[in-house]
Amino acid sequence: MSESKSLYESIGGIDKIDELVDRFYDLMALESGLSDLRDMHPQDLTGSREKLKFFLTGWMGGPDIYSQKYGHPMLRARHLPYKIGSKERNQWLICMYQAMEDCGIDGEAAKQLEESFLNTADWMRNQPN
């Protein structure tokens, strides 16, 4: 019996996560339609990029770098200070889905990620529609 690959392995490991997260934040900064999302972040995105890279690495089945450095992700609790409604959720998803496409993440891995990202982004909402 063979073990199935993790999403981390399927997409290409840390190099692909680095590319994905960098593209995500580049798009967020470039696209005027994503300004609400961009405004939630600090001017210098270095820390945000690192945290998302580390989080996604473990979340997709790679090494648990985030927890080692920052503790338990407590994803929803860490985002409670930010007003996240459907608009912000949708901007995040648009940005991530475009980054996935730009980075060549497709097929079954993309399908799994899109569904997981949608569920997680929707769970992060803390404002009424």
> Which residue segments constitute the domains of the chain, with CATH numbers given?
9-123 (1.10.490.10)
pLDDT value at residue 43:
94
> Which residues of the chain carry a pLDDT beneath 50?
1-2
pTM here is 0.92
pLDDT value at residue 2:
47
Rounded distance between C-alpha atoms, residue 84 and residue 95, angstroms? 15
Angle (CA) 68 70 79, round 5°: 140
